[in-house]
Amino acid sequence: MGWRQRQPNLFMTQSTALRLTGLSKRFGSVVANDDVSLTLEKGEVLALLGENGAGKTTLMNMLFGHYLPDSGTVEVADENGTLHPLPLGHPQAALAAGVGMVHQHFALAENINALDNITLGSEPLRSFRRNRNRAKTKIEGIIERSGLSAPLNVPVGRLSVGERQRVEILKALYRDARILVLDEPTAVLTPQEADTLFDNIKAMTKDGLSVIFISHKLREVLAFSDRIAVLRHGKKVGEMATADADEKVIARMMVGADTPKVARTEMAPGAPVLKLSNVSVEGRAKRDTLKSVNLTVNAHEILGIAGISGNGQSGLANVISGLAQPSAGTITVDEQDVPKPSPGTMVKAGIGRIPEDRHHEGIVGAMSVAENMVIERLDDPAIQSRGLLKRDAIQANAEKLAKAYDVRGPGVTAASRLLSGGNIQKLILARVFERSPRLILANQPTRGLDMGAAAEVGRRLLEARERGAGVVLISEDLDEILGLADRIVVIRDGNLVEAISHDREQIGLIMAGEPA
Amino acid sequence: MEFGSINPVLLVASLMVASTPILLAAIGELIAEKSGVLNLGVEGMMIVGAVTGFIVAVQTGSPFLGFVAAAAGAAVLAFLFAVLVLFFLSNQVATGLGLTLFGLGISALMGQGYVGIRPPASPRWDFFGLSELPVVGPILFNQHPLVYLSLILVAATWYVLRSTRMGLVLRAVGESHDAAHALGYSVHGTRIAAILFGGACAGLGGAFLSLVIVPQWTDGMTAGRGWIALAIVVFASWRPWRVLLGAYLFGGVTVLQLNLQAAGIAIPVELLSMSPYLITILVLVIISSDRNRAALNAPASLGRAFHASH
């Protein structure tokens, strides 16, 4: 972490590259941005922080012309450093002024090679012949200066996620971007890839590039940015030099209160709850394929599954929840063989499932909160007798759970889709934990949740572990796994590799497929 | 013009009869759609029910057996639809349209020798002379058993969907088949049952037409009632009591316009004949548009194919 104490580039004359003044945007009654002003100096890396829904992406979309602000101005400096107001709501104008944006989801044509993807859209329409060599020379120049390497002659579909991201950035630089906006650039990268990316970004800022990056990860923000701006509920609530910041200060600024630190006590593991022996799953894609894996989860234990997304996490989750049939191998729950796994048998065997896609696989959105809270235990005589639902009992149960798990929303009789993502997750937690499952499968349980809700999920998982449950925690957030898991297994390309220690470097190397 | 010749009591009593085929078909389709399956083959299932019921009733002399056969015959057709849609993942809209065309064709073939024959008459329950009571007698106590059955079905559907385990699972499957599957419920089992129920109801409706209302067999005698039933389900925003309202509105206007025709009113017959379709749709559109919630009430998985493996 040698970046922490880095000083701003002193040899560069400080001048403003971008100035946002008083930007506001409403969607109906929701205020997405409220009078946000922000400046970006030339050659500076600004981290834009905030919880989900704080308005970071909206702000960047106004800068890039995707949204028309209700009020406010955007000014961008030209090559000579003079600020010019940008016509709002025109992405073409933003591009022409030198603003490049790399979205979280890449916009690349998979069958076309990287070179053509980069030049696509910046070709003059009228000329008949394309000057590919000139384009290639220019791109190679950019690669040399920035260190962002990517094979140019291979169809983008065959590139890795990290390479694709570099292609996206090259695309922006090829169009002479002087201001680069990156929306959660490291969400799909290994720790090593992320470090390399930031090294490259640093190299480019020496050439005068200014960068804004959106992130949730405090660690990389502290390590790689010059300045930090924090948004909360659409307002800018703080701005500071990174050298003056620490995790606690930023977290408090983002949430508006101190987040409780999850306390974890050491605990001796108990008997095995789940055993996978040589289990293979033939999925349609890499993400749901498993190659003869062995896995044991014990009582009183949280097993963390780390890995880059799409390396077989879905396959593992599906086979544990009974959604996918193993093509080979055996599954044992509580030392009992499960001969024909299906979602129903796995629920009955005592597996509580916190699914990755909570909106589509976790709840039935059109049904009420109360109904969703009992939908996994309709055989329970407390819920129904002879097929008739006990509506009063269901209602009382829902009110009790909503209170205990702090599920907030328009009430337990309202449709569950009206809840926010965090509250939907709390609903699922309530439903799962009320059944006191032997094993809890938590697949990306805090993805998209704000810090308070994420801390609550961690606390509940630790509570279940204390009670004697085994927990499988699948997460792409290595910090979450390091904070909660007793043991860590890395999933890569459908294989499982046990990490010997809680060492970030070592785990990162296994994630990348290098011998540790 | 003599409006005095129209007897309001008889009008109400006969509107209940005229509405029953549509009510039965619509309540069956409501269940199928609640499970997430859009079956556009209602018209085809109705007419197959009409011809099967007619043939069996004529052959056996028992209207009761006729109704049983009508329900079974239409359910067979529905089963075909279920297999195609659920297991071969064929497109629900195209398959449903095909089912209607197939039903119209095969019913004409089956009914060739039965045109112009009178079926055996169904008994009416008269509840120990209660049918002799003025006004309420003919309306409440002198109807065909199927009229009562259709009303019971509406109430039962409402109750089952709202207050039973079965109803909750059915709704879960229709609203989010992925979630229902992951929670351990059988999406295919639920949908097959719902489709078969829908088919049986449509068949009963069709047979009520050929055995009670007309009573005769003619080609294409359902005359678009299956489509009206489909429209009623949508405009009733999948609520059983609104389906009842829509069906009785259609039946009411049908009977009224027949009475008006008989009374010799100076409106072209063609206009009167189309009025039930027109007025039903208009009224239901107005009802369902009064709040924008109506569109949201459609089962979220309606018409979407379900594939168990991910």
Q: Is B304 on the interface with A (CB under 8 A)?
A: no
> Is B97's Cβ below 8 Å from some Cβ in A?
no
Flag whether residue B163 sits within 8 Å of chain A, measured between CB atoms.
yes
- Reported in sequence order, the residue ranges of A325-469 that DSSP labels E, i.e. its strands, are 328-333, 336-337, 351-354, 384-385, 388-389, 439-443
Choosing among B34, B160, B168, which should be mutated to test the A contact, i.e. which has the most A CBs within 10 A?
B168
Domain ranges of chain A: 16-105+177-255, 272-512
How confident is the prediction along chain B (310 residues), in pLDDT tens digits per residue?
Answer: 455 566 788 888 888 999 999 999 999 999 999 999 999 999 999 999 999 999 999 999 999 999 999 999 999 999 999 999 999 999 999 999 999 999 999 999 999 989 888 888 877 766 666 777 777 777 777 788 899 999 999 999 999 998 999 999 999 999 999 889 988 899 999 999 999 999 999 999 999 999 998 889 999 999 889 999 998 998 888 999 999 999 998 888 888 888 888 888 888 888 888 888 888 778 777 766 765 554 557 888 888 888 765 4
Q: Looking at residue A448, what is its pLDDT?
A: 72
- Residue B264 belongs to a domain: yes
- What CATH code is carried by the domain that includes residue B235? 1.10.3470
Write the residue in B168, B179, B185 that is nearest to A363 by C-beta. Answer: B179
Q: Residue A466: its pLDDT value, please? A: 92
CA dist A305 and A291 (Å) reads 15
CA distance A507 to A501: 8
Predicted pLDDT of residue A135: 84
pLDDT at A2 over 50: no
pLDDT value at position B40?
94
B300 in reach of chain A (CB within 8 A):
yes
CB contact under 8 A, A366 and B300: yes
Hey, are the CB atoms on B168 and A363 less than 8 Å from each other? no
Are the folds of A16-105+177-255 and A272-512 the same? yes
Model pLDDT, residue A108: 83
Domain ranges, residue B31:
3-114+143-296
**Can you give the pLDDT at residue B43?**
96
pLDDT digits (tens, 9 = 90+) for A325-383: 899 999 999 888 888 888 888 988 889 999 988 888 889 988 999 999 998 888 888 88
User: Please, what is the Cα angle at A152 between A150 and A153, to 5 degrees?
Assistant: 135
**Rounded mean pLDDT, A479-503:** 88
Residue B306 in any domain: the answer is no
Does pTM top 0.80 for this prediction? no
Is the CB of residue A58 less than 8 Å away from at least one CB of chain B?
no
Whether B190 maps to a domain, the answer reads: yes
Q: Is the pLDDT of residue A516 over 60?
A: no
Please give the mean pLDDT across all residues of chain A: 85
Query: Taking 50 as the threshold, does the pLDDT of residue A5 lie above it?
Result: no
pLDDT one-digit tens code per residue, A153-180? 888 888 877 888 889 888 888 888 899 9
Considering only CB atoms, A355 lies closest to which of B182, B296, B300, namely B182
**Between A301 and B286, whose confidence is greater?**
A301
Highest CATH level, class, for A16-105+177-255: alpha beta
The second-level CATH assignment, the architecture, of A272-512 is 3-Layer(aba) Sandwich (3.40)
**Measured distance CA(A493)–CA(A474) in Å, rounded:** 15
DSSP symbol at B112: G
Task: Please name the member of B163, B166, B175 whose beta carbon is closest to the beta carbon of A365.
Answer: B175
Residues of A in contact with B163 (CB under 8 A): 388-389, 391
Q: Indicate the number of domains in chain B.
A: 1
pLDDT (tens digit per residue) in A24-66: 988 776 788 999 999 999 999 999 988 777 888 889 889 988 8
Element holding A279 (H helix, E strand): strand A272-281
Asked if the structure places residue B124 within a domain, the reply is no
Vertex A267, ends A261 and A272: CA angle to 5°?
120
Of the candidates A221, A260, A190, A254, the one whose C-alpha atom is nearest the C-alpha of residue A458 is A260
Cβ distance A366 to B299 less than 8 Å, yes or no, reads yes
B127 lies in some domain: no
